[in-house]
Structure 1
C-alpha cells in the first residue's frame, strides 16, 4: 500500500485499524528498510517487487 502511495488514513481504513496504528507500523517498515521517509520506502518496495 505504501508503494501505491496510500496515506496512513487510507491504510488504516483498508486494514480496519486506527490511523495512529498505521503511522506506527509505517515507521517500523521504514526502520526495517533503513529508509527515512515514505518516498524512499515506496522506491525500495517497488524495486523489490
Structure 2
C-alpha cells in the first residue's frame, strides 16, 4: 500500500527506497508486483486503476 501511495505521489524507485529504507531494486520488485495485481502496464495506469478501485484516497497524499 505504501509503495502504491508513493508511486501515486510521483516518486522514483530510488526515492521510494530512501523513504522506506529499502533498495531501489526491492522497490522495483514491489512495483512490478503491483502492476501485475492491478493488471496495469505502467505506473500511471496502476495509479488510475487503484483510484478507480478505491485503493487510494481522493488525494494521493492522503496517507
Cα distance in 2 for residues equivalent to 1:7 and 1:30: 15
Flag the structure with larger Rg: 2
Match of 1:41 in 2: 46
What's 1:17 paired with?
A: 22
Q: Count the aligned residue pairs.
A: 49
**How high is the TM-score relative to the length of structure 2?**
0.70
Q: What is the TM-score of this pair, normalised by structure 1?
A: 0.87
Stretches of structure 2 lacking an aligned partner (at least 5 in a row): 1-5, 57-63
Q: 5+ residue gaps in structure 1?
A: none
Cα root mean square deviation, aligned: 1.0
Q: What is the rounded CA distance, in whole Å, between the counterparts of 1:25 and 1:4 in structure 2?
A: 16
